[in-house]
Amino acid sequence: MLAGACALLAAVAVGCGGDDRQDANEPEGDFEVEVLDASFPERQRLAETATLAITVRNESDETLPDVAVTLRGLTERSEAEGLSDPNRPVFVINGRPAEIGGYQEVKLDAPDGGPTALVDTWTLGELEPGEKTTFRWRVTPVRPGPFEVTYAVAGGLDGKARAVTVGGEVPQGAFRGTVTARPPQSRVADDGRTVVAPAP
């Protein structure tokens, strides 16, 4: 699933100038990785924030160069004509205020240090043998109806270090569920300030 995207990134790296390839120091080989836990609510409400979390562990005897996760299904392709960007969000990754260069900006609330040049891929750096790490996103559904979000784990961005299961397959999975069109009905508490959400 990640092979095409990884090849594209490697090609871009070569074309951006300089003599060194981006993947020059990425070791080549298979690294055994186990997905310890993957969670995302099956039933969700429109405009109600949820957490998507994936925990992985390096089961190999060598350090995983740059553990990465690619998500598909946060957007869908519209068939309407005349759109400059046919991709429409199904889930929006939430932002949080942050100061960047002395200015207040909004950063995506995705795995810290994880954004890459690939739109749907995040990395969390090296993973020592036996070490585990958790990718975590806070997302909000903006389109009601059924959904399917898939994930795949990689050992790096350049396709040389491959994350595999015990059986030699790409560690991957899918979340399926439904977003109801009815948004959550919150109320203001008696103190006039606190917003109380209904019990799930």
Q: What sections of the chain are H helices per DSSP?
A: 3-15
Which residues, other chains included, contact 72 with Cβ-Cβ below 8 Å and sequence gap of 6+? 1, 120, 149, 150, 151
3-77+86-181: which CATH topology? Answer: Immunoglobulin-like (2.60.40)
Question: In this structure, what token pair is assigned to residue 100?
Answer: 């960047």
Cα distance between residue 131 and residue 65, in whole Å: 13
Strands 95-100 and 121-123: unpaired
Note down pLDDT in tens along the chain; length 200 residues.
Answer: 444 444 434 443 444 444 444 445 788 999 999 999 999 999 999 999 999 999 999 999 999 999 999 999 999 987 777 766 677 899 999 987 766 677 766 676 777 656 676 778 999 999 999 999 999 999 999 999 999 999 999 999 888 999 999 999 999 999 999 999 875 566 666 776 666 665 55
Given this model, what pLDDT does residue 95 score? 80
| Among 106, 121, 34, CA closest to 72 | 121
Given this model, what pLDDT does residue 162 score? 96
